[in-house]
Structure 1
Amino acid sequence: MSPPVGTLVHELGRNWLGKADIAVQTILLAFGFVVVGLRLWSRRLQGTSWQGSDWMIVAATIFMVGRYSVELVLILLCGMGLHTDEVASIGGPDLFVQFDQLTYAGDILWITIVALIQLSILHYYLRRFPHRIIMWPTYITMGLCTALWIASTFATAFFCTPPKKIWLSDVQGHCGNRKMLHLGSSVSEMILHGVILLLPIPVTRDMILSRARKVALGCIYFLGIVIIVISAVRIKVEFDLDPEDPTYGSARKSLFTSVVPLLGIIAACLPILPPAIQRVFGASLFSSTADGIATSPVSSGYWKTTVLSKRQMEELEIPLVTVTMPPMAKKLSELAHGQIKITSDWEIHSARNSARLERDSIRRA
């Protein structure tokens, strides 16, 4: 049964920009669902509960589904991707009111999604790299991301006074400069993307990693660079938009706009996927004897370790040691792919003089 005359669904066949937008978003969103599912499965395999970064990435994925739905309506019912004169001849001038309303909602959703992804990555940094050299810059960056989120949301929501003037031009009021608003927001987002990408470098450059982990880390950084490049291209496309042909130009912009948060979701999940990938492939692809701990600025021949006491987490510098576990605990450690889990009885012997460190003495320290 053919769609009724007066709608733009039947024009999708020649709307190549709209079809490209739907195809790219559908593929990346499906892949995003896969990596988010693997991320949550990895948490379960590790026996850990969801952390703040997990909740934020799940929320970002849900909001991304909402924005994907908005894009579908814009393409199928509002003719985004077709020229404005074609849309007006088929759907009438009233269709542009709905187009502006949906674009308004999509812009606010996009700002929220990007902010949640950025905060999720930064929260992961705080849990993964508890080093002073990275913690304070991460807190500052989180504050900047939150401030930009709030400022961009209010600036977009109240771009016109009253807001409904955005889609009803005959309403009394005034509007700001749309291009300057998008330029300021987009440039700030791109700068923060670069800062987030660079933050862990002082720690990761000193880590002893296997070749597989180096490849995985390189892929994450490559994906981050791709996001920054696409953000820059998006700014260029924004300035090239023809205000007299918004439905056609918006499709070009939307194609780049949707890729940024979708790739961001994937990049944010990649560092947490190894346990699930190891379970799927049945091999420790991301662990080997070459993996090590990030070195700290401590004395030569010493490791910096964290001791859990009843009062707080204390970082001590102790000589290189060997952890001796009962046979059963050692077997469980091997089954856990090298993740040592000490539960009860254990001893630590110095690598230098085999002096025994009792559990109680460590707790007292």
Structure 2
Amino acid sequence: MVGRYSVELALILLCGMGLHAAEVARIGGPEVFVQFDQLTYAGDILWVTIVALIQLSVLHYYLRRFPLRIIMWPGYITMGLCTALWTASSFATAFFCTPPKRIWFADVEGHCGNRKMLHLGSSVAEVILHSFILLLPLPVIRDMILSRARKVVLGCIYALGITIIVISAVRIEVEFDLDPEDPTYGSARKSLLSSIVPLLGIIAACLPILPPAIQIIFGTSVLSSTTDGISTSPVSSGYWKTTVLSRAQMDDPEIPLVTVTMPPMAKKLSELAHGQIKITSDWEIHSARNSARLERDSMRRG
């Protein structure tokens, strides 16, 4: 992201992006357009990389936060599609012309593809993946019982996601309106949109994991209210079991459990297993409010 913004600043300060091509040629000469094409080439490769990394980071969070079959399989498939699009877009952009330097030196022998069709295909695929990533956790989220504060945060995340999709769609239209005879002037609007989308994407990706930081900085636990929970639907019941037994989920459980007791032998085996919980015989779970106690015999033999 820093590299992308550095390219944008170089295009403005060194190549006159935002000014008409005639004025840029009068001030800097024809060699400015060579530098402009080189920086645009680097910026396009950085763009597809940034978008793919943000998508993969959001999907990785889904897989860690919701380890359910209804999320896991679509999540892995979407990660594969994002990686495939990243690879294809990177190679298509890097080798748009053969040889690549023909992009900024028109007199070099070779051939180039259709730039608008390349950007159209890549941008439309990105918008489709954005939409699918935004909708992926809905089957689980709709069955969760959340506090009002968390509902507000969730609404902000989805509002940012919808905004990203809308801006990405507008970016496609701006791409088609570019005048090839005046690239420095027409690229300004596209550059602005290209700078906003990854920034909003990073914010949206970070919001779900901010409650612990907010609690430490501001001394409030409003975003980790004990009123949060899981409903009793079939989907959520599977998540209940994952939340109880998975060590990765014990850091921020939706149901406020406090103790998991095991026989002495099972406890000793757990300590030998580097802190991982291994239940070998009886086990008991006590709720935070001491409202119920669940007992099961021989839940797992190991």
**Does the 8 Å CA contact 2:18/2:188 hold for their aligned counterparts?**
yes
- 1:287-325 Cα offsets, whole Å, 9 max, x none, are 22321136551799x95345369xxx9xxxxxx997558
* 2:163 aligns with one of 206, 223, 226: 226
Percent identical residues: 79
Q: Is the 8 A contact 1:74 1:80 kept in 2?
A: yes
Q: Distance in 2 between matches of 1:144 and 1:239?
A: 25
Q: Verify the 8 A CA contact 2:144 2:236 in the aligned structure 1.
A: no
Aligned pair partner of 1:202 in 139, 163, 166 = 139
3-state secondary structure, aligned to 1:149: helix
2:56 paired residue number = 119
Counterparts in 2 of 1:110 and 1:152: CA distance versus 1, 3 Å: same
Q: Distance in 1 between matches of 2:121 and 2:80?
A: 18
Aligned length: 275
Q: 2:89 aligns with which of 120, 133, 152?
A: 152
Q: Which of structure 1's runs of 4+ aligned residues deviate more than 2 A?
A: 293-296, 302-309, 320-326, 346-358, 361-365
The yes-or-no answer on 1:188 pairing with 2:125 is yes
1:307 paired residue number: 245
- The answer on whether the counterparts of 1:227 and 1:264 sit within 8 Å (CA) in structure 2 is yes
For 1:229 and 1:206, the matched residues in 2 are separated by 27
Offset of 1:278 from its aligned partner?
A: 1.0
Cα displacement string for residues 334-353 of structure 1 (whole angstroms, at most 9, x for unaligned residues): xxxxxxxx9xxx95369999
CA distance in 2, matches of 1:247, 1:240: 13
CA offsets 1:174-232 (integer angstroms, 9 cap, x no match): 11110010000000000000000000000000001000000000000000000000001
Amino acid at match of 1:102: L
Shift of 1:281: 1.2
On the 8 A contact 2:143/2:236 being kept in 1, the answer is no
Over residues 104-143 of structure 1, what are the superposed CA-to-partner deviations in whole Å (9 max), with x where a residue is unaligned?
A: 0000000000000000000110000011111111111111
1:282 aligns with 2:219: yes
For structure 1, list consecutive stretches of 5 or more residues without a partner in the other structure.
1-63, 314-319, 327-341
Which residue number in structure 1 is paired with residue 153 of structure 2? Answer: 216
1:99 partnered with 2:36: yes
Give the SS at the match of 2:22.
helix
Partner of 1:133: 70
Q: Does residue 76 of structure 1 match 2:7? A: no
CA contact (8 A) 1:193 1:228 kept: yes
Q: Which residue of 2 aligns with 1:169?
A: 106
TM-score, normalised with respect to structure 1: 0.69
Kindly tell me: are residues 294 and 141 of structure 1, through their superposed partners in 2, closer, same or farther at Cα, counting changes over 3 Å?
farther
CA RMSD of aligned residues (A): 3.1
Look up the equivalent residue of 2:72 and give its one-letter code.
Answer: M
Partner AA of 2:130 in structure 1? H
CA distance in 2, matches of 1:299, 1:168: 59
Q: 1:304 and 1:296, CA in 2 relative to 1: closer, same or farther beyond 3 A?
A: farther
CA shift digits 1:37-79 (9 cap, x unpaired): xxxxxxxxxxxxxxxxxxxxxxxxxxx0011111111100110
- Judged with a 3 Å threshold, the aligned counterparts in structure 2 of structure 1 residues 75 and 294 are, in CA distance, closer, same or farther, namely farther
Q: Counterparts of 1:266 and 1:353 in 2: how far apart (Å)?
A: 40
| Separation of aligned partners in 1, 2:235 and 2:27 | 72
